[in-house]
Structure 1
């Protein structure tokens, strides 16, 4: 729920009033493609190097392909059909076309599979801020899930879950989002040594009404009685008459010496729920329920009562809602890929239209390259 100033651009997303000319739309697009260009420059530069050791070449190329696949995957979720850029040649890039989603998925999978072949199993530095083989496998499991390739999604999730030396399940929910968490697969390092997460700085507030955002009543009420995630990951703030709730996965809203929390992009719980969903889609209902119950039991809940395939898939979707809220768009993308956005948002989100499932392509980009027209529906 949005409580911020009308002058802040994020209100446009809450009210569904974004336009092809909205600055954030082009900023996100340009930022992503700028990073993709950098990844391509690394791949090309490393390939042409005669000085780098082969192990370093593999590491750097694997990381760059991981980043390239990741960024295109997120661009696809936000904008729909997009160009997949694999060159730094401006003469080529200036006239690229948007690719159908199936082709974007195929290229992303190709990049992440290549990363799997190049990256080592061990993390190359302290912490988990540079991707390793298992980070690539975890991302690959997610992409296969979104693409509906169930067997491959389950297999790649299992590759991560079976490594119980690097990844150790944590029953204490208060420790999941610490930078030393053994359930973290890939984290981002904050920009300074004393800075904690942008999530903490954005979501946490100490008095009401909230300065920016608060959790919706629908989310707060979605937790079952006794769910320890609500106790550990949600915090109420009251002014005596009204209570608002904020995400409390990350506990630090300010700096600390040293930083105690790193933003987690990939974590172990997602792999269990990826495998649960992929198994259920293939009719492996017992295994699907085992994975689902792993998450539920850690949250202090009893085993699921779901029995049929449809019931189990619904239970997994509900579990993902209370497990991944405020984490990199999981909920929005889950509803979209399951065809349920209108079911949950129509009539509850301001001015929601079915076409709001995608952001508009920045008008400035269409002006520069008419090949990426037409504009997305609704804009």
Structure 2
């Protein structure tokens, strides 16, 4: 089945799900959710389902592990094609990683409003995925047919996805609803929760997921589904963001001890990289990553983003990441640089190579070392040497000498610097760093003419407020 036809069918059926769920509830929602999985099964080989049409009911979905796992496919597919997939570019433009040469967007110029379709798309994509995760959780909990092992695995994956999507929403919008049910009526009246409450729910879900998930859920050696270390990797990040230093240290260490370090920079973003914790698989064999498709350009960039001077100037002399992870294009007197972590353009390799060479990396080992370094630096004392060692792990691979940072401020500056040049254009991590460390205004005000202090959060979409006034008050700066 052609990819275009699959996408058309999937989005038509998703529209039907979210149009009828208020009238017919979880039964119809799961019925159509499974239809999506069956219709898109040719694009995703982690499970093949041939379900008789007379068994397409919510109960049938959770009669055995095969069909229950199929219910997860739609959620992974949404992550694969929805707003998560575009975050690297959009957040890179919003922060100081990427520039636009042509076709300047409100995201890049910091002129976003509550009517912006990109901002409303983030919200709806994430909450659609959360609704589907909740449907799976409820279906598993109500199943008497699944084994305990299968229940734990499937529920653990859904809990992780729910936590992951909420973790992105809280970073983008601040106070948000934390949705844990498919009850449509309740969800249309829900209010926003304080950030600390949202993070508490995220931690609860991730802790539960970590305990339920198996140590390794791979498909032909691929890490494209959630397993224990995936939940722990996000948990370590959340502990860092909420300044729970000891827990961030311990959780990152748990992840680090489960993986083998990849010493070759050129292999870090390959689909079989030993340092990858969780990856997003392309929608079709032979395709590669959206990042490669968007970031690599021959000749002039056109509407594609280019790496900013701010990022280029952040690299130290002889940093191998600058030569191995950055490409250059020169046309006449103009030279542009682009992110070259992913080196296969998605749309040009389908005919050249039937096998995908690169998958989008969401969590990888280097981030865990930097999480642990920052957590150790804040703890001080005998943890300082460990923080330095973690920084040096990253620097050694890049061909750089050991850090000279020793005090808390020196270490924190070194870590933020290292995060900038190691994790650039990776799912908004740079923007989240500027935001959580209070450096956004200092860094962005001089280079973004539209910068205002209220830009630290995006607006709640006006369309959502019209549907649910309990989402008020609007974030500061977006009332008009």
TM-score by length of 1: 0.97
Distance apart, 1:220 and its partner CA: 0.7
Alpha-carbon RMSD: 1.0
Counterpart selection for 2:416 from 317, 323, 333: 317
- Tell me which residue corresponds to 1:15: 109
Summarize deviations over 1:328-377 as a string: whole Å, max 9, x none. 00111001100000010002113111111111000111111111101100
Map 1:351-362 onto structure 2 (within 5 A).
351-362=450-461
Tell whether the 8 Å contact from 1:205 to 1:211 is kept in structure 2 after alignment: no
1:378 aligned to 2:470? Answer: no
Summarize deviations over 1:302-342 as a string: whole Å, max 9, x none. 00111111100110000000001100001110011000000
CA distance in 1, matches of 2:160, 2:107: 29
Summarize deviations over 1:81-127 as a string: whole Å, max 9, x none. 00000000012111101000000000000000000000011224330
CA distance in 1, matches of 2:185, 2:303: 46
Counterpart selection for 1:173 from 265, 269, 291: 265
Distance apart, 1:171 and its partner CA: 1.2
- Tell me which residue corresponds to 1:328: 427
- Tell me which residue corresponds to 1:216: 308
- Tell me which residue corresponds to 1:109: 203
- Tell me which residue corresponds to 1:87: 181
1:162 aligned to 2:260? Answer: no
- Tell me which residue corresponds to 1:274: 371
Tell whether the 8 Å contact from 1:187 to 1:262 is kept in structure 2 after alignment: yes
Q: Which moved more, 1:204-213 or 1:38-47?
A: 204-213
Tell whether the 8 Å contact from 2:314 to 2:421 is kept in structure 1 after alignment: yes
Tell whether the 8 Å contact from 1:210 to 1:244 is kept in structure 2 after alignment: no
- Tell me which residue corresponds to 1:264: 361
Counterpart selection for 1:299 from 388, 393, 398: 398
CA distance in 2, matches of 1:134, 1:328: 19
Question: Which ranges in structure 2 are unaligned for 5 or more consecutive residues?
Answer: 1-98
- Tell me which residue corresponds to 1:244: 336
Distance apart, 1:73 and its partner CA: 0.5
CA distance in 2, matches of 1:5, 1:331: 23
CA distance in 2, matches of 1:96, 1:211: 39
Summarize deviations over 1:144-166 as a string: whole Å, max 9, x none. 00011111001000001112xxx
Question: What SS does the corresponding residue of 2:368 show, helix, strand or coil?
Answer: helix
Tell whether the 8 Å contact from 2:344 to 2:358 is kept in structure 1 after alignment: yes
CA distance in 2, matches of 1:209, 1:111: 42
CA distance in 1, matches of 2:152, 2:406: 46
Tell whether the 8 Å contact from 1:277 to 1:313 is kept in structure 2 after alignment: yes
CA distance in 1, matches of 2:217, 2:419: 28
CA distance in 2, matches of 1:93, 1:364: 15
Tell whether the 8 Å contact from 2:218 to 2:224 is kept in structure 1 after alignment: no
1:41 aligned to 2:130? Answer: no
Map 1:115-264 onto structure 2 (within 5 A).
115-126=209-220, 127-163=222-258, 167-254=259-346, 255=349, 256-264=353-361
CA distance in 2, matches of 1:253, 1:263: 12
Question: Of the two, which has the highest radius of gyration?
Answer: 2
CA distance in 2, matches of 1:198, 1:39: 24
CA distance in 2, matches of 1:99, 1:119: 28
Question: What SS does the corresponding residue of 2:278 show, helix, strand or coil?
Answer: strand
Distance apart, 1:221 and its partner CA: 1.2
Distance apart, 1:18 and its partner CA: 1.2
CA distance in 2, matches of 1:177, 1:4: 28
Question: What SS does the corresponding residue of 2:125 show, helix, strand or coil?
Answer: helix
Give the number of aligned pairs.
Answer: 372
CA distance in 1, matches of 2:166, 2:360: 20
TM-score by length of 2: 0.76
> Per the alignment, do residues 191 and 5 of structure 1 end up closer, same or farther by CA in structure 2, a change over 3 Å counting?
same
Which structure has more helix as a fraction of its residues?
2
